């Protein structure tokens, strides 16, 4: 795009945004929200309270429920993966892994096939 085309496109975008801003500033809903926000921030300053204090006051469980959910999610949602031991009968090499994202295991599966390699697996715990 040439520089003059970019200039004209930017100028047009600015005009559209200015029109949108003008229509928003005339909206009564926006005026009420801005008034509410101003009064709320004034009260927060007067009483030296932060947004977190207000949230804790209005929804005391908001903070604890997030922390509790985050702590419980892995234990309740998924069970821990068990360790598998793979012994390659061709080379005698042994690897232990909890998942299939092991470099050597991937190489074996590419060389001998996934079903064959899974036949070499033993669950450890």
**What distances in angstroms separate CA 27 from CA 15, 20, 37, 93, 102, one per listed residue?**
19, 11, 16, 73, 59
* pTM, rounded to two decimals: 0.40
Residue 65, pLDDT > 60, answer: no
- Tens of pLDDT, residues 66-118: 555 555 555 567 788 888 898 999 888 998 888 768 889 888 889 988 888 88
Are 112 and 99 contacting, i.e. CB atoms less than 8 angstroms apart? no
List the domain boundaries for the chain.
3-64, 83-124
Q: Write the pLDDT tens digit of every residue in 28-53.
A: 999 999 999 999 999 999 999 898 88
What is the distance between the alpha carbons of residues 80 and 59, in angstroms, rounded to a whole number? 34
pLDDT of the residue at 74: 57
The label of the residue with tokens 């047009």 reads 12
């Amino acid at each position: 795009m040439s520089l003059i085309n970019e200039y004209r496109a930017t100028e047009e975008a600015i005009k559209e945004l200015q029109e949108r801003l003008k229509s928003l500033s005339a909206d009564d809903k926006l005026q009420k929200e801005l008034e509410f926000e101003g009064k709320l921030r004034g009260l927060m300053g007067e009483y030296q309270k932060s947004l977190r204090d207000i949230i804790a006051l209005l929804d005391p469980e908001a903070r604890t429920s997030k922390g509790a959910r985050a702590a419980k999610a892995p234990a309740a949602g998924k069970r821990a993966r068990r360790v598998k031991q793979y012994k390659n009968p061709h080379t005698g090499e042994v690897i232990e892994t909890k998942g299939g994202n092991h470099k050597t295991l991937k190489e074996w599966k590419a060389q001998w096939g996934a079903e064959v390699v899974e036949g070499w697996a033993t669950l450890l715990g």
